[in-house]
Structure 1
Amino acid sequence: MDHQAFSLLRTPRGVLLVCDPANGGLWRLPGGSVLPGEAPHVAQRRTLVEQTGLTNAHAVDVLVCDYTPPVADFLPATLAMVWDVGMIPDVPPVLVARLDVQVIHPDQLAEYAHQQETRRIRSALAVLRAPYTAPRYRYRGADPEPES
C-alpha cells in the first residue's frame, strides 16, 4: 500500500494547490508519497517544502484519511492523509511568481482538480467547519461504501 501525505494550506481567497504535470497538469494539494521508513508527518513537511518552498508552515492535525483500493495489477492501494497547515493571510512572495502554484476558491475546485481530489479537499474543509460531526475517513474521496 502506498501512503501519501498532503497539506491543506488556506488563505482568505481559497486553497493553495500545486500543478501536477505527472497527472495531466491537474491541480492538487501539495504532497506525495511517504518514503520507506519515513513517518507521515515528516513526509507532509518534506513535500510541502519541496513543492512550495515554504519552510515556516507547520501541520496541525490530520483532517481526512482517504483510502483508494488497488487498480488491477498496476496501481497499489493508497491511504492519503490530508494535514491541516492552517490559514495564512496571503500567498507568500516566494510563491507569487510561480506558475505551478495557485490559490483556488473552493467553489472552483472541480475546474482545476481531479474529481477525487476535489472531494478530498471538500471533505477536509468540512472537517474544519464541523470538527465533531464531519466524517474523517473517506473512500475514494467520498463516503465509504457499505459492506455487503
Structure 2
Amino acid sequence: MNNPYLTKDNPNEAATPLPPAAINRIDNPANGGQFTPAYGRSSLASKGSGDIEKRIRKIYADRYPTDFAMQKTMVEHQTECYRYMQSYHSAQGVPTSVFKEIKSSYVDRYPTDFAMQKTMIEHQAESYLALQKGK
C-alpha cells in the first residue's frame, strides 16, 4: 500500500503531522480523549493565502529542518490543498447540510493539514453517496 499520508516507519503515523503545539491536543488519551483544535477553527481560515503559506512553511521547516526537498514538496502540496479547500463548498449528490457537517468536522480535526481535510472530506462524501445507493 503506497499511501503518501503514512510514514514508512510507522504505517499508522501521518506523514503530514500537526505542529508540536497541537500534538497533545487532538484525541490524546492524556487529555481524556477530548478534541481541542490546536489553532481554533478560524485562525488559519481567516488569514490571507500568503499568511497561510508562511504558516505551512514554518510547520514543515520545523518538521524537516534539513530536508529541503521534503519541505518544498509538503509546502506545495499543502498550499494547493488549502486553495482547493477555499472553494470546496459542496459535493454533487450530497445535501448541503450533510456536506457542511462533514467539512466542519475535518476542518476542526485537522486545522493545519489541508491535504488531510481534502482527502477525508472527499472520502466521506463518496461513502455517503455509496450508502445512499443501497437504500
TM-score of the superposed pair, with normalisation by structure 1: 0.28
Whichever structure has more helix as a proportion of its residues is 2
Task: Please tell me whether Structure 1 or Structure 2 has the larger radius of gyration of its CA atoms.
Answer: 2
TM-score of the superposed pair, with normalisation by structure 2: 0.30
